A = this chain, B = another copy of it.
Amino acid sequence: MAMKLKSTPQYEARARIAKALAHPSRMLMLDALAQRDLCVCELTELVGADQSTVSKHLAVLRDAGVVEMRRQGAQTVCTLKICCLNKFWECVEAVLRQNLQSQRQAVGR
Protein backbone atom coordinates (compact mmCIF):
# COMPACT_ATOMS: atom_id res chain seq x y z
CA MET A 1 0.00 0.00 0.00
CA ALA A 2 2.21 2.75 1.37
CA MET A 3 -0.43 5.45 1.12
CA LYS A 4 -0.22 8.63 3.13
CA LEU A 5 -3.64 8.95 4.65
CA LYS A 6 -4.96 11.36 7.23
CA SER A 7 -6.75 10.74 10.47
CA THR A 8 -10.42 9.94 10.78
CA PRO A 9 -11.11 13.23 12.61
CA GLN A 10 -9.56 15.13 9.74
CA TYR A 11 -11.81 13.41 7.20
CA GLU A 12 -14.73 14.12 9.48
CA ALA A 13 -13.77 17.78 9.59
CA ARG A 14 -13.58 17.93 5.82
CA ALA A 15 -16.90 16.19 5.48
CA ARG A 16 -18.50 18.71 7.84
CA ILE A 17 -17.30 21.55 5.66
CA ALA A 18 -18.41 19.85 2.46
CA LYS A 19 -21.79 19.23 4.02
CA ALA A 20 -22.10 22.88 4.92
CA LEU A 21 -21.61 23.74 1.28
CA ALA A 22 -24.02 21.11 0.04
CA HIS A 23 -27.14 23.14 -0.63
CA PRO A 24 -28.13 25.31 -3.61
CA SER A 25 -29.26 28.21 -1.43
CA ARG A 26 -26.02 28.16 0.55
CA MET A 27 -24.07 28.05 -2.71
CA LEU A 28 -25.89 31.12 -3.87
CA MET A 29 -25.27 32.92 -0.60
CA LEU A 30 -21.57 32.09 -0.70
CA ASP A 31 -21.26 33.32 -4.25
CA ALA A 32 -22.91 36.58 -3.27
CA LEU A 33 -20.77 36.91 -0.15
CA ALA A 34 -17.67 36.41 -2.27
CA GLN A 35 -18.47 39.77 -3.82
CA ARG A 36 -19.31 41.69 -0.71
CA ASP A 37 -20.57 41.44 2.84
CA LEU A 38 -24.32 41.21 3.12
CA CYS A 39 -26.78 41.31 5.98
CA VAL A 40 -29.22 38.52 6.67
CA CYS A 41 -32.10 40.53 5.27
CA GLU A 42 -30.34 41.01 1.95
CA LEU A 43 -29.53 37.32 1.74
CA THR A 44 -33.11 36.47 2.60
CA GLU A 45 -34.35 38.56 -0.28
CA LEU A 46 -31.71 37.09 -2.58
CA VAL A 47 -32.55 33.49 -1.77
CA GLY A 48 -36.28 34.07 -1.73
CA ALA A 49 -37.01 31.66 1.11
CA ASP A 50 -38.46 32.18 4.53
CA GLN A 51 -36.32 34.32 6.82
CA SER A 52 -36.08 31.54 9.36
CA THR A 53 -34.88 29.16 6.69
CA VAL A 54 -32.12 31.52 5.64
CA SER A 55 -31.15 32.07 9.25
CA LYS A 56 -30.72 28.33 9.69
CA HIS A 57 -28.68 28.07 6.51
CA LEU A 58 -26.40 30.80 7.78
CA ALA A 59 -26.01 29.05 11.12
CA VAL A 60 -24.80 26.01 9.22
CA LEU A 61 -22.21 28.08 7.37
CA ARG A 62 -21.14 29.86 10.54
CA ASP A 63 -20.77 26.64 12.52
CA ALA A 64 -18.56 25.27 9.77
CA GLY A 65 -16.36 28.37 9.91
CA VAL A 66 -17.21 29.31 6.34
CA VAL A 67 -18.82 32.62 7.17
CA GLU A 68 -18.56 34.98 10.09
CA MET A 69 -21.45 37.04 11.40
CA ARG A 70 -21.18 40.25 13.32
CA ARG A 71 -23.88 42.40 14.76
CA GLN A 72 -24.08 45.88 13.21
CA GLY A 73 -26.84 47.87 14.81
CA ALA A 74 -30.10 46.09 14.28
CA GLN A 75 -28.79 43.76 11.62
CA THR A 76 -26.30 40.95 11.30
CA VAL A 77 -23.63 41.28 8.63
CA CYS A 78 -22.14 38.15 7.08
CA THR A 79 -18.58 37.84 5.80
CA LEU A 80 -17.09 35.02 3.78
CA LYS A 81 -14.14 33.57 5.66
CA ILE A 82 -12.98 31.00 3.11
CA CYS A 83 -11.48 32.44 -0.03
CA CYS A 84 -10.81 29.04 -1.63
CA LEU A 85 -14.25 28.49 -3.07
CA ASN A 86 -14.18 30.39 -6.34
CA LYS A 87 -11.01 28.79 -7.59
CA PHE A 88 -12.20 25.40 -6.51
CA TRP A 89 -15.47 25.59 -8.39
CA GLU A 90 -13.79 26.97 -11.48
CA CYS A 91 -11.41 24.02 -11.38
CA VAL A 92 -14.19 21.50 -10.84
CA GLU A 93 -16.36 22.86 -13.59
CA ALA A 94 -13.47 23.02 -16.06
CA VAL A 95 -12.48 19.44 -15.29
CA LEU A 96 -16.05 18.19 -15.57
CA ARG A 97 -16.40 19.90 -18.95
CA GLN A 98 -13.18 18.28 -20.13
CA ASN A 99 -14.29 14.88 -18.89
CA LEU A 100 -17.61 15.16 -20.67
CA GLN A 101 -15.85 16.15 -23.85
CA SER A 102 -13.35 13.26 -23.89
CA GLN A 103 -16.19 10.95 -22.94
CA ARG A 104 -18.11 12.06 -26.03
CA GLN A 105 -15.03 11.59 -28.18
CA ALA A 106 -14.52 8.07 -26.83
CA VAL A 107 -18.06 7.13 -27.77
CA GLY A 108 -17.53 8.56 -31.24
CA ARG A 109 -19.68 11.64 -31.17
Taking Cβ atoms with an 8 Å cutoff, the residues of A that contact B are 3-6, 8, 11-12, 14-15, 17-19, 21-28, 31-32, 35-36, 65, 81-84, 87-89, 91-92, 95-96, 99
Interface residue SS majority, chain A: helix
Give the residue among A6, A18, A19, A24 with the most B Cβ atoms within 10 A: A18
B65 touches A96 (CB 8 A): yes
Number of copies: 2
Residues of B within 8 A of A35 (CB): 3-4
Closest residue of chain B to A32, judged by CB?
A: B3
Residues of B within 8 A of A19 (CB): 18-19, 22-23
A11 touches B28 (CB 8 A): yes
